[in-house]
């Protein structure tokens, strides 16, 4: 049970010692040359009632030019999942800009999408906002591998970023997902103006979850014009490396995903992240609404680093 204090101390370790320690932990639990590729698809975009300060899809940010698209059809999503599989992804993640899914035809359609992705032999992940117990149970029955629900930052800093729901609301949905027997994918965002101590506190919250999250996405803020976080000082990329290393040490078995923000992260810093235990990336030229590295560029990067693509869905999927 790591305390906030102990995680803050870990964060104070000299960076190269921390990376070395993390690389050792990583090698005990994972093949260090294997990286999982996940593809993201925004199945319902924009017009979201939540006010998350970083997000292009919030209806509160009138100046952010984000399209508003209704829920995609089952067929469109299946075709996108087939293309992702063809391109080498083993996990397909579907995101919807909802506060919570409404009951009825739309939720049933999402359940069908999950079944289709599983039928293709890929891991299926969705992120749909807050869930009820019954929705979590139906997602489990449909075969969902993991539910993504990020805590985003520390409990202290959270209200400065989001006011339409609380940190506690987030933890409640995560508990419902765990109770339904679905793996949790939970992480956060770096570079929103938080202190290193906030990053340590966020990590303490994640590491104390029981069970620990199956995957931990480490996003760095993608600045979107028209959002409250559009301007600000850029984060030192080595702080991302520090976060990845601490995450790997505290959550030895989890997948650590180097998530949003890789377009801004130069190859040397990405290499350090892989050394420090990152073993999953989003792959494909688009995240949900913002750009991600081109597939060919990523393939080249992995090749230059001698990294292999994990070509199987995880054993516990």
Binding residue for ligand DTB, selected from 288, 302, 310, 317, defined by CB under 6 A: 288
Site for ligand DTB in 209-248 (CB under 6 A): 217, 219, 222
Going by C-alpha positions, the residue among 165, 167, 152, 100 that lies closest to residue 127 is: 100
Q: Which stretch binds ligand SAM (CB under 6 A): 8-16, 174-182, 221-229, 276-284?
A: 221-229
Asked whether position 95 contacts ligand SAM by CB under 6 A, the answer is yes
Q: Does residue 221 belong to the site contacting ligand SAM (CB under 6 A)?
A: yes
Reported as half-sphere exposure (CB side, CA atoms, 13 A), residue 223 has a value of 13
Specify whether 273 is catalytic: no
Which C-beta is closer to ligand DTB: that of 138 or that of 223? 223
SS3 sequence of 61-119: CCCCCCCCECCCCHHHHHHHHHHHHHCCCCEEEEEECCCCCCCCHHHHHHHHHHHHHHH
Cα angle value 191/215/236 (rounded, 5°): 20
Q: For residue 57, what are the contacts with CB-CB under 8 A and spacing of at least 6?
A: 45, 46, 47, 48, 66, 97, 288, 289
Binding flag, residue 198, ligand SAM (CB under 6 A): no
Binding ligand SAM by CB under 6 A: which of 153, 219, 279, 280?
219
Q: Annotated catalytic residue: which of 38, 93, 186, 273?
A: 93
Residues contributing to the site for ligand SF4 (CB under 6 A): 48, 50, 52, 55, 57-58, 97, 129
Taking CB under 6 A as the rule, does residue 284 contact ligand DTB? no
Q: Is 185 a catalytic residue?
A: yes
Alpha carbons 173 and 143: distance in angstroms, whole number: 18
- As measured in angstroms, the least distance from the Cβ of 256 to ligand SAM is 15
38 is catalytic: no
Contact with ligand DTB (CB under 6 A): which of 290, 297, 313, 314? 290
For residue 301, give the H/E element and its range. Answer: helix 295-305
Show which residues are catalytic. 48, 52, 55, 93, 125, 185, 257
């Amino acid at each position: 049970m790591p305390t906030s204090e102990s995680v803050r101390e870990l964060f104070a370790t000299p960076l190269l010692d921390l990376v070395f320690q993390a690389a050792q932990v990583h090698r005990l639990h994972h093949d260090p040359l294997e990286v999982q590729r996940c593809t993201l698809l925004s199945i319902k975009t924009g017009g979201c009632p939540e006010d998350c300060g970083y997000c292009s899809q919030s209806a509160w940010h009138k100046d952010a030019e984000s399209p508003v698209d209704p829920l995609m059809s089952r067929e469109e999503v299946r075709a996108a999942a087939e293309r992702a599989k063809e391109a080498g992804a083993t996990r397909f993640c579907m995101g919807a800009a909802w506060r919570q899914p409404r009951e009825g035809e739309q939720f049933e359609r999402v359940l069908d999408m999950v079944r289709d992705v599983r039928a293709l032999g890929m891991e299926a992940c969705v992120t749909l906002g807050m869930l009820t117990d019954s929705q979590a149970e139906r997602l489990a029955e449909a075969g969902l591998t993991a539910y993504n629900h990020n805590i985003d930052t520390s409990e202290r800093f959270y209200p400065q970023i989001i006011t339409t729901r609380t940190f506690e609301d987030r933890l409640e949905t995560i508990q419902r997902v765990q109770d339904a027997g679905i793996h949790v994918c939970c992480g956060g965002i770096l570079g929103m103006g938080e202190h290193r101590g906030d990053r340590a506190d966020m990590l303490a919250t994640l590491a104390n979850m029981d069970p620990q999250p199956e995957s931990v996405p480490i996003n760095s803020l993608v600045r979107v014009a028209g959002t409250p976080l559009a301007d600000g000082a850029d984060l030192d990329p080595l702080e991302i490396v520090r976060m990845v290393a601490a995450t790997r040490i505290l959550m030895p078995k989890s997948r650590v995903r180097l998530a949003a923000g890789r377009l801004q992260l130069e190859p040397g810093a990405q290499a350090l992240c892989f050394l420090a235990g990152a073993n999953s990336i989003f792959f494909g030229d688009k995240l949900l609404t913002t750009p991600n590295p081109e597939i060919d560029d990523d393939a080249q990067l992995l090749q230059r680093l001698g990294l292999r693509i994990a070509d199987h869905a995880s054993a516990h999927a």
